[in-house]
């Protein structure tokens, strides 16, 4: 019987896995393989929080495969070397894998595909991460979109995403015993156990992903449009790490949401479902841009930002990383990130704006910190998000948009519950001052047990002054609009 290899990458699931389903349908035996090869990820090898997640996701995948009569074979890279070794050991005639869109990985994959085909091995690549493949969506001139609204309209004019592929009940395994590395040997776990908050917050793996989707559809979808911007409320799906590791497909989410709409949601709830699918579309847009503009992982899409006068300020950067800026909503977000490996999307925008606009620190410094600390550290989303806030990417925020962290906190965390959770030294403050403790009177500070500058830092910059400094720097860019 012929043998086929299925190379698992960022698609660590059994259900709606076209590469796996195709290999099983083809007859013969199937060898699922994962290759640990961080050196082939280019400038962006897997960060620390993502490595923690990967360890658990691989364990969950291995368990799911065993329940279907199969086994996950783990090897170290380089990828081509590992695949060729397995082909020799098994006599495999074909290799299947799901496409990825990161520039270094795409280049690596093209090389592997060419080399294996030259060896006489059949190679098939499959859509696995997105609802809409990037090559399918172009403007009337045949060029890629750079504005999300136009891009998303074009997507919605296409056919609905394909129906999810059922998980195979059995995966026929070869009779030979293949050598496989234990997951522990990959060194994904931190040597010093800082991951207690991550363990408390997350359940990596396909089962955890499905349960989180069910919970979101049941309790939060109908109020998503109204609640998604409020970090003090569980109004978002928190599916981003499951999507990043491919424990759940975007197609599955799409059709589950559509099924809820077809089931008869009230009009405002159906509108909320559309809003959620639009956010799924923003994720698609991020991968689309990375595919068409691969240089943006390290360079701004807008060339004039290459000359932006970024400030090298290691003390301010460290204060931002540690949640010690003196702006409670910023500090709460950065501490949530450090504790749980995740941050609410609205707060991500606030803390990113603070770094690049208030502190004039290069967006790439923020992208690198997020990359190492987020469990959903996705190169496409990370790149788009930071360039959007900095004003240097596709469909970017206007350069003169500078979030006021006090007003943002008061608007989206009006009772201060989010700040109180993550900045507990401010928990005794009354609502009017929770987002600006320096505005409190000495009496109020004493009542709250706070000595500014000791128990909680004074603001490291003055908002009004920082805003003017940022506007002056931005006006100086070639093509900047004065008087905005």
SS3 317: helix
Annotated catalytic residue: which of 41, 113, 299, 310?
310
* 342 is annotated as an active-site residue: no
Place of tokens 């997020």: 370
The helix or strand, by DSSP H or E, that contains position 201, with its residue range, turns out to be helix 196-201
Query: What is the four-CA torsion angle of 222, 223, 224, 226, rounded to 10 degrees?
Result: 150
SS3 3: strand
Nearest to 22 by CA among 2, 1, 4, 34: 4
What percentage of the chain's residues is helix, strand, coil (to nearest 5)? 55, 5, 40
Query: Phi and psi at residue 179, in whole multiples of 5°?
Result: -70, 135
* 363 is annotated as an active-site residue: yes
Strand order in the sheet with 73-76: 73-76, 29-36, 3-8, 94-98, 122-126
Annotated catalytic residue: which of 345, 425, 438, 444?
345
List the beta strands (DSSP E) in 349-389. Answer: none
- 273 contacts 261 by C-beta, under 8 angstroms: yes
Place of tokens 């509108």: 271
* 53 is annotated as an active-site residue: no
- 169 contacts 19 by C-beta, under 8 angstroms: no
Q: Residue 476 CA to chain centroid, in angstroms?
A: 33
* 279 is annotated as an active-site residue: yes
Question: DSSP assignment, residue 449?
Answer: T
- 168 contacts 20 by C-beta, under 8 angstroms: yes
Annotated catalytic residue: which of 41, 89, 124, 279?
279
* Burial (CB count <10 Å: 0-12, 13-18, 19+), residue 22: middle
List the beta strands (DSSP E) in 209-266. Answer: none
What pairs with residue 75 in β-bridges?
35
CA dist 201 and 43 (Å) reads: 29
Nearest to 140 by CA among 153, 127, 128: 153
Annotated catalytic residue: which of 320, 369, 371, 386?
386
Angle of helix 328-340 relative to helix 363-373, nearest 10 degrees? 40
By annotation, the residues acting in catalysis are 279, 282, 310, 345, 363, 386
């Amino acid at each position: 019987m012929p043998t086929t290899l299925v190379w698992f990458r960022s698609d660590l699931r059994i259900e709606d896995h076209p590469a796996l389903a195709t290999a099983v349908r083809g007859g013969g035996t199937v060898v699922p393989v994962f290759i640990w090869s961080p050196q082939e990820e280019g400038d962006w090898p897997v960060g620390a929080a993502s490595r923690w997640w990967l360890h658990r996701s691989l364990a969950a995948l291995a368990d799911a495969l065993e329940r279907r009569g199969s086994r996950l074979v783990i090897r170290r890279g380089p990828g081509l070397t590992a695949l060729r070794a397995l082909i020799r050991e098994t006599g495999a005639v074909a290799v299947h894998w799901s496409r990825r869109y990161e520039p270094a990985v795409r280049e690596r994959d093209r090389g592997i595909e060419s080399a294996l085909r030259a060896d006489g091995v059949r190679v098939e690549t499959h859509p696995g991460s997105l609802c809409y493949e990037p090559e399918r969506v172009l403007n009337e001139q045949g060029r890629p979109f750079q504005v999300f609204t136009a891009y998303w309209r074009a997507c919605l004019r296409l056919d609905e995403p394909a129906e999810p592929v059922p998980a195979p009940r059995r995966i026929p395994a070869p009779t030979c015993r293949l050598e496989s590395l234990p997951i522990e040997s990959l060194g994904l776990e931190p040597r010093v156990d800082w991951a207690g908050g991550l363990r408390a917050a997350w359940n990596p793996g396909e089962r955890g992903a499905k349960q989180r989707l069910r919970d979101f559809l049941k309790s939060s979808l109908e109020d998503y449009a109204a609640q998604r911007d409020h970090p003090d409320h569980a109004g978002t799906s928190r599916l981003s790490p499951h999507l990043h590791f491919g424990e759940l497909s975007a197609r599955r989410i799409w059709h589950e949401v559509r099924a809820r709409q077809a089931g008869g949601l009230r009009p405002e709830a159906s509108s909320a479902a559309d809003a959620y699918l639009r956010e799924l579309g923003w994720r698609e847009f991020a991968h689309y841009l990375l595919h068409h503009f691969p240089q943006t992982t390290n360079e701004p899409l807008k060339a004039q930002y290459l000359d932006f006068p970024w400030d090298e300020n290691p003390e301010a950067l460290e204060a931002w990383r540690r949640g010690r800026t003196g702006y409670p909503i910023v500090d709460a977000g950065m501490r949530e990130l450090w504790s749980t490996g995740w941050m609410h999307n609205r707060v991500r925008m606030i803390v990113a704006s603070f770094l690049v606009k208030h502190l004039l620190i290069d967006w790439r410094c923020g992208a690198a910190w997020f990359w190492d600390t987020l469990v959903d550290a996705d190169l496409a989303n990370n790149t788009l998000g930071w360039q959007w806030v900095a004003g240097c990417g596709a469909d970017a925020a206007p350069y003169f948009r500078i979030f006021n962290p006090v007003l943002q906190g008061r608007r989206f965390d009006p009772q201060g519950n989010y700040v109180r959770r993550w900045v507990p030294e401010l928990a005794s403050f009354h609502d009017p001052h929770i987002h600006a403790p320096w505005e409190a009177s000495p009496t109020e500070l004493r009542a709250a047990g706070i000595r500014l500058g000791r128990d909680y830092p004074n603001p490291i910059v003055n908002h009004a002054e920082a805003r003017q400094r940022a506007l002056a720097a931005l006006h100086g860019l070639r093509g900047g609009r004065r008087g905005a």
